[in-house]
Structure formats: structure tokens, C-alpha cells
Structure 1
């Protein structure tokens, strides 16, 4: 008699964790692979996160960990890929071999997932993508995607820039723009770039001088901004595709003896809207911050509960987001937890 796949992991995972305990390989909860015994009534979920490259990513991870708890009926195995796709593929294959009930992961880049996701499909394990998307010829290899409309975010940045330039009566003046992009090939980078570029192309007076890869980190953002300031003497606007790069860019601007802000030398528009980013909006150093909502855990659980009840789920779930400026940032700052 064939044993159902969902029953196999009930026996296999406790044995696996006994081996890990005896070998001293069990890690602290939330750092790598998690804890000890599995109750047969728990839903087992393997989660692979890109890494911990930003304040936003930390908040995104917390939203998943805080909802996939034993109290809520889950056993979560968590893996930090540390920005390496090979680590993430290895983690996914580990989840498949452990016969988890669901796989949740944020892909580092869009390409290179066809083989491992085919393996998950053959094992009968639904895959839930969060934050970033994958480029596949067969869309049935994943069940659903939860995240931000990055293309819309890019257009939001372009539209808010247009509003401020109009207010300053600079519609006919040449506007010199540099863009600090995120990780090459990442969904957020692609969407925000395409959305902003589409708005920019509709303005003949907007000149994008360069789009540099800041890798979504503060250090790289500062490094790239320093080189851009050395290369171009009259930058009017910086579009920074996340707050962490913005922190580095602002340091570079200050070190160059320039000022940031709507009334300063360089206008800065950022993305993510973490609390420290919103504080810069409140101080006037950042003109606008486009929200990227990291609280995706509740959506993950909603999808899993639907699947557990054999209910249909949508292929895409967009989380709600807004644009923060000096006019509306106060209320958001009081409520921000990340």
C-alpha cells in the first residue's frame, strides 16, 4: 500500500531532527533550520529568504516567522540564503527531501529556477513566492505570488517627481537624474526601473545620466553615489530604489558638501518607507518615500489555509502601499514598527 506523501514527513522529520540534535547541527530559531520535534497535526513549511541585506528584509522575515508559529498550527524550517542563489536552491532541495507541506521563498533573481521548481511540483509540494518573482516557461511550477507591484511603485516615483517639479515651475528646465538600482535581475529592480523609466520618457526635459547598481545595501549605495557625484557635476535628482541605498547616498552627498531635499542641491526619492526612511522624509532630506509593504506573512497564511481547505487561490496577491511625503508622514511614523 502506498503511504500518502503528507504522512511520510510525520515519521521522517522527527528522525531527521534527532540526527541533527545528536550531531550538534540544530540552529537557533529563526537563523537557519529550526527546532526539534514535529507534532503530526502541524503544517510543515520550508521558508527560504534572500538574506538580511536591509531593514526591509528583516521586517519581511519577521512577518513570516511571527505567523508561521506552532501556536498557529505550523512547523517552520527557515533558511537564510545570504544573497546566494546556490544556497537557496540547496535549501529548496532540502525542503523537498524532507517532504514539507509547503515551500515559501523569495527568489534572489528571476532566472534559474525551472529545474528545482519542477522537482517540487513532482513531489506534490505547492510553492508560494513572496516579494520577488521568477521567470518560467511553465507558470504551473508555482502556486501563487505575494508581494508589491514594483512597476506601479516605479511609476509612483515618477509621478511624485513630476508633481514637485511642477510645483517648482521646472517643467521646461533640464532635469539631470541618476538612479541607484537594486540587485541586478531582482524583481524589484526590474519593476521599479521600468515603471520610472516609462514616466521619464514622457518628459523631454528629464535626462537619466546613469543607472548604477547599488545592490540594495548602504555601503554600495554610498560607493556608487560617490562615483556618480565625481562623474557628474550637476545632478538634480537621485532615485534610490531602497532606503538602505538612500542612507549611503545621503552620506555621499553630505561628504561632497552638498545638501539634499526639495529645497537643497539634490532632490532624493526613495523606496521601502521603513521608519528610518520616513524620519528622513519628516526632516526634509528625502522628498518622497514609496512604500514597499514587507508585511506579507498574513497573506502567506491566508493562502495556505485556503489550500488546506481545497479552496482556489489567485495567482497574484498585491499588498497595499502608498507614497509618503512631508504632508502625510507624521501618522505613518507613529505607527511604524520596522
Structure 2
């Protein structure tokens, strides 16, 4: 591995990332378009330009991305592509797994064969990684996890994890909902809820479901009618919500584990002749806080969104620089998180958001 000095640009990008709070996904375009990513089953995308610079002096990073299922993911991908560039001392080999673990494992093995300096993975699910991580360790290639966690028996198989505190996000959502219902004079009412979960087994799904379950235990008048996976996509979120509406006549709250699912749920609610948002029949909340979620709140359809910062590139680059310098790094590194609802000056906030 070749030791590099962190560029002024990267330091500035790092500062920008640290000021953005977050945790999320959504449904309109922010960051790069999905067409910019290459399928994991095809050739990985090499985003380092090898024209005039001596690529042998660059730090080569292989990034195995989940896919392009949401606006949050698109912004996350763009953060890596704009950070790990030749001007900053890097060559990035990018691979889109299209939501398939087998594609990510294939990509990691390809990175090992190419003798990259570092491997970054945003794992599709938490389990099933030990063998390929052991192969990376044997090859002497450090692995850094982004966004989602891996459940492994030996945590020395990866150097660090960067992402949101998903359990805390779920708990923050529950606390917000309790305060909101109290303000509406509904604090003691029986509240019927449904949850459109993310991809089952993904860290964000596991954590957000657990956090909200913790808050359900604190409110005996809250009833969870049903939970189904919307796979973090708008289309599946709409499909699940359509099913909920056919099965239950008295839904008060819909919890969507990312913004994209919320957009699909809102479409389903309207198609069924019902309304949602602050002045509607159904309260809709979501996670990720991408730009389209602000637009949905401004339109009066979404009540609140709980943030997950997708700009992980600069934080991962900082970790790599410390490892290059022989320093130790914290194993778990949470990004800052906030939430937003319709009581805020959303138009001003939206105008200043990077994703």
C-alpha cells in the first residue's frame, strides 16, 4: 500500500460530510443517476482515470455497492465516486451488486485477484461473509464496511464500520410519534400501525424495526397490525401498502423503513381514496431524509423523515489515511443523524441539502 497525503479537497469534503446529519433512502433523483452504475455480474466500473498519472502510485480501492435501489443509495455511490478520484490519490473500482449477495461476494473475490489496497463493502445482508472476508484477510487486504453491518464471529475480519445508528433511528421515530400524537390530542387513543420494512436481514431493517419495537413496548395503546418487506423500493412499498389497505380498515400510522417505500405507500393511499400527511387520514413517516422526502412533506403527504447520512466517502477516506499512517481506528463510527417534520422551515432546509 502506498501512503498518500490527504488533499485539501478531501479535507473540505470531510468537513461537509460531518455537518450533514443522516440516515436514509428516497424516491427522486439526487446524486448520480442509476444509469451510472455497472452491474456486479458484468464488468466492474473503474472510476480512476489512468491517463496522465502513474496509477502505480495511487491507492486502489474496490467498492462493492448494494445496488441503486433508492435516492439515498445513489447519493452514497456518488459520495464514493467523487472522493476516491485520482486528484485525491486514489483509483476506485466500483461494482453494483444489484441487491444480490452472491454478486458482492464475486466482486470481493475479483478485488482480491486484482490486488487492490482496500476493499469497501455495503453488505446486502448481515450474514454469510466469513469465508470471503477470510480470503481478503489472507491476502492482506483491509476491509471497511459502509452503511450496513456484517454479523461475523471474528470482527478482526474488517477494520471499521461507518454508518447510521439504526436502532436509535427507530427509537427516535417512536419518540417523535408519541410527541406528535400527544400534540394532536390522541396520546391516549388506540393507535393502529403497519410497517413497511426494508430488505429483511439488512442492518437498516433490523435496527429500525428493533428501535420501533422498543417504543411499542412503552405504549400499551399502540398496536402493530402487520409488517411486510417493501425491499427499500417505491414499487414494492406501493404493493405492500395496497395489501395493507385491503386487509385493514383502520390504519392510523404507516412506518416506512426508507423514503422510497413511503412514496409508494402514499401513492397507494391516494389511489384507495384516502388521504395522508398532517391533514390526512393516515400518518406516514419514513427514514433517510433525501430531497424528495422534503418535497413530499412540503406537498403535505409525508409527516416526518428520520435521517441517515449517505456521504460516507470522506469518512472512509479518513480511515484509509489513518491506516496508511499506521494508526489505529475506531471499530464503529456513527454518522450524525437528525429528523425533519412539517413544523420546520422545510424549503430553506431543502435548498441547503447536499442530497
What is the TM-score normalised by the length of structure 2? 0.86
Q: Quote how far apart the aligned CAs of 1:44 are.
A: 0.6
The answer to whether 1:172 aligns with 2:188 is yes
TM-fit CA distance, 1:279: 1.2
CA shift, 1:30, in A, is 5.2
* Number of matched pairs: 313
- 1:243-286 CA-to-partner distances (Å, cap 9, x unmatched) read 11111000000000000012311000111111011111222211
State how far apart, in whole Å, the 2-side matches of 1:317 and 1:330 are: 30
Q: Residues 238 and 29 (structure 1 numbering): CA distance in 2 closer, same or farther, change over 3 Å? A: closer
Aligned counterpart for 2:350 among listed residues 323, 326, 333: 333
| Residue in 2 that maps onto 1:39 | 55
1:42-98 CA deviation, whole Å, 9 max, x = no partner?
A: 001001100001111000000011000000000111100011111100000011111
CA offset digits 1:227-246 (Å, max 9, x no partner): 00000000000000111111
Give SS of 1:40's match.
helix
CA RMSD of aligned residues (A): 1.4
Which aligned pairs between 1:1-338 and structure 2 lie closer than 5 A? 6=1, 31=38, 32-34=44-46, 37=50, 39-328=55-344, 329-338=346-355
Q: Gapped runs of 5+ residues in structure 2?
A: 3-34, 39-43
- Residue ranges of structure 1 left out of the alignment (5+ in a row): 1-5, 8-27
Query: Counterpart in 2 of 1:15?
Result: none
C-alpha distance in structure 2 between counterparts of 1:221 and 1:199, whole Å: 23
Cα distance in structure 1, aligned partners of 2:271 and 2:129: 42
User: In 2, distance between residues paired with 1:110 and 1:318?
Assistant: 17
CA distance in 1, matches of 2:117, 2:220: 52
- For residues 29 and 306 of structure 1, what CA distance do their matches in structure 2 show? 30
Closer, same or farther in 2 for the Cα pair 1:30/1:263, shift >3 Å?
closer
- C-alpha separation between the residues in 1 aligned to 2:202 and 2:230? 12
User: Higher relative CO (CA 8 A, sep ≥ 6), structure 1 or 2?
Assistant: 2
